[in-house]
Structure 1
Amino acid sequence: MEFANRSHNDFSLHHVELSSLNDFMENNETNSTAGERNSLGCVQIRIPQELFLTLGLISLVENILVVLAIIKNRNLHSPMYYFICCLAVSDMLVSVSNVVETIVMLLNDHGLLYLHPRMLLHLDNVIDVMICSSVVSSLSFLCTIAADRYITIFYALRYHSIMTTQRAVTIIVVVWLASITSSILFILYHTDDAVIVCLVTFFCTTLVFNAVLYLHMFFLAHVHSRRIVAFHKSRRQSTSMKGAITLTILLGVFIICWGPFFLHLILILTCPNSPFCNCFFRNFNLFLILIICNSLIDPLIYAYRSLELRKTLQELVLCSWCTCA
């Protein structure tokens, strides 16, 4: 059931939910050191478990602060920030699953923990659901935020009647239910290549959806702004465009960090036995690090692009520091 193997002995946990790669890697796994070349000339880089743990803990703390800041500051109680809060929760799923997996691996490697195979299987399934829910919900909320910015720019006068708080909450509930349900189904049918096809198709579809909205927003926003004469409306237009630019940055970072992972899925389907694909598969840990880095970078983007959120985060950090002192 495992999709990737981060351990160098018989114990392994996994981050995603398909079996094709695991079978391939079990037949080709080596104990190479960092930067060592195998017989095919492939470089396999080993990444210390401590690095996974450190990055996971940092990203977890960052995203918890973002969620607390949005909850604390009433000025951030708007649909867009509700969606950003959910995006932070999605990143937290990656961080939590990574931290739990790495701690279990380290304890096992040092002989401090033994898990019964059935318990290990259950833990694997839980981690799978968390990771899959994270990627599906992240893509969904990126699309939701894009649609929210689109409505803000092109339907400014009707925005508050279109995107009400109740409607935003309904969207959030539907996205999470769909993400969790689809993740469980992916786990149940993990041996079917259709699962990989569904994930890749969903990834590509969301990218196309966002690209269409962005092109329309950025190319026609200037024309639309001419129709807005009042100063306060122009200021709202500028704020909406700033939100759209922030989302563009978030989407770009997401593509960079998750792109190799989805390329990995595509190669599983297209060339599982190719020497080139073999080399690509051997460095799966690098793609996991990129995924964790996405969870770590997103809060920095929120803080950099939003003065209100940045001030609230500073207050939370200072309060925590004073309490600890």
Structure 2
Amino acid sequence: MEMTNRSQHYPSILHVEFGSLSDYMEENETNSTTGERDSLDCLQIRIPQELFLALGLISLVENILVVLAIIKNRNLHSPMYYFICCLAVSDMLVSVSNVVETIFMLLNDHGLMDVHPGMLRHLDNIIDMMICSSVVSSLSFLCTIAADRYITIFYALRYHSIMTTQRAVTIIVVVWLASITSSILFIVYHTDNAVIVCLVTFFCTTLVFNAVLYLHMFILAHVHSRRIVAFHKSRRQSTSMKGAMTLTILLGVFIICWGPFFLHLILILTCPTSPFCNCFFRNFNLFLILIICNSLIDPLIYAYRSQELRKTLQELVLCSWCLGA
């Protein structure tokens, strides 16, 4: 049984078996945006497939532009922007999986495609693996960026010897290998509740790690800045704190957008048959929209908080417009 059922023809993201939930999710189609109440007096928000497709495409274009901007501008070739680039790639995984799945659904709904069930299962496995990889890699890179900002603020004079390009690349490779490996294991053992426990535990652990790191940064940064009297070093301190603030915003948006999804997982473990929980489960498509919105909002945060990145993005958009004209 799939966790989500965005149409009655296709399984969806993170297909985990939940037994008794099938009766409640079977009718969770997305053919209108109106809210409906069922026999349990549950308000169910129905979302059209076209909205999933539109948001997915916009998010995909935005994150591709971020990656291209970081590659193009040599001033952005630093460990922090390498990590931000990887975070954009993680968001792209969500966008690509959403676009592919939605296109298959729309083609099937309009009678333009008749796909063999076996192929659907393989497609579902690939989509689920991409989503799992995105979750793990996004959380990991948020932690990595937080650690990078921490080193920049409290070990400013030793930063370039601590966070070398070689070490940054090694961290990136390790994170992606761990993300892909864990996503494969999650798909193979998707019938085991341990998968959900691992995801929720990882989510909570990374949040605590980031919260402790940011709290320490913001409490002690002011004290630390008093010890740095040279103008260029003070400027570096200000830039570092701006980077820390940017990542704080990113983390806050991530919690808001992914929080309902992880709450869904927690409720599956704690109250799968409760009427209240079942009402919550029926709006899972709304939580998927929030996840896609996270991938859409992140590039806007990069552009707003970084003048250098914003300038490069503007150049890319203008070049694309001129070539198109």
TM-score bracket relative to the smaller structure: over 0.9
Gaps of 5+ in 2: none
Q: Cα distance 1:226–1:119, how it changes in 2: closer, same or farther (>3 A)?
A: same
| Corresponding position of 1:19 | 17
Please name the residue that 2:178 is paired with.
178
Pairing 1:139-178 to 2, within 5 Å after superposition: 139-178=139-178
CA distance in 2, matches of 1:215, 1:28: 40
User: What does 1:86-97 align with in structure 2 at a 5 Å threshold?
Assistant: 86-97=86-97
Query: 1:291 matched to which residue of 2?
Result: 291
Contact 1:13 1:101 in 2 (8 A): no
Deviation at 1:20, TM superposition (A): 1.4
Residue range with higher mean Cα deviation, 225-234 or 24-33: 24-33
Task: Supply the RMSD in Å over aligned alpha carbons.
Answer: 1.2
Q: Tell me what 2:279 maps to.
A: 279
Aligned to 1:55: 55
| CA separation of 1:28 and 1:173: change in aligned 2, threshold 3 A | closer
User: How far off is 1:29 after superposition?
Assistant: 3.1
What one-letter code is carried by the residue in structure 1 that aligns with 2:21? F
TM-score between both structures, scaled by the size of structure 2: 0.97
TM-score by length of structure 1 reads: 0.97
Q: State how far apart, in whole Å, the 2-side matches of 1:30 and 1:296 are.
A: 28
Which position in structure 1 is the counterpart of 2:138?
Answer: 138
Q: Which runs of 5+ in 1 are unaligned?
A: none
Alignment correspondent of 1:29: 26
CA displacement 1:149-199 (0-9 Å, x = unmatched): 000000000000000000000000000000000000000000000000000
Q: Please name the residue that 1:99 is paired with.
A: 99
What SS is found at the alignment partner of 2:47? coil
1:146 maps to a residue whose letter is A
Partner SS for 1:88:
helix
Once the two structures are superposed, residues 4-48 of structure 1 have per-residue CA deviations (whole angstroms, 9 ceiling, x without a partner) of 1000x3x11311242217x51345533786311111110111100
The alignment partner of 1:2 has SS state of coil
Distance 2:162 2:104 in 1: 47
Alpha-carbon distance, 1:229 to partner = 1.2
Mapping 1:1-325, distance limit 5 Å: 2-7=2-7, 9=8, 11-20=9-18, 24-26=21-23, 29-30=26-27, 34-325=34-325
Name the SS for the 1:142 alignment partner: helix
Distance 1:18 1:31 in 2: 16
Output the CA distance in 1 between the equivalents of 2:103 and 2:23.
Answer: 23
- Cα deviation, residue 3, structure 1: 1.6
Give the number of aligned pairs.
Answer: 322
Look up the equivalent residue of 1:29 and give its one-letter code: E
Q: Deviations over 1:97-116 (max 9, x none)?
A: 00000000000011111111
- Contact kept in structure 1, 2:151 and 2:159, CA below 8 Å: yes
Amino acid at match of 2:302: Y
Change (3 A) 1:183 1:28: closer
Give, in whole Å, the separation in 1 of the partners of 2:35 and 2:44. 6
Q: Is the 8 A contact 2:4 2:12 kept in 1?
A: yes
CA gap 1:85/1:106 in 2 versus in 1, 3 angstroms:
same
Identity of paired residues, percent?
86
Give deviations 1:196-215, integer Å, cap 9, x for gaps.
Answer: 00000000000000001001
Aligned to 1:44, the other structure's residue is in SS state strand
Quote the Cα distance in structure 2 between the aligned partners of 1:322 and 1:158: 44
| Equivalent-residue separation in structure 1 for 2:186 and 2:2 (angstroms) | 13
CA distance in 1, matches of 2:75, 2:6: 43
Alignment partners' CA distance in 1, 2:14 and 2:190: 9
Q: Which amino acid aligns with 1:289?
A: I
Q: What amino acid is aligned across from residue 72 of structure 1 in structure 2?
A: K
Change (3 A) 1:160 1:28: closer
For residues 38 and 239 of structure 2, the distance between their equivalents in structure 1, rounded to whole angstroms, comes to 53
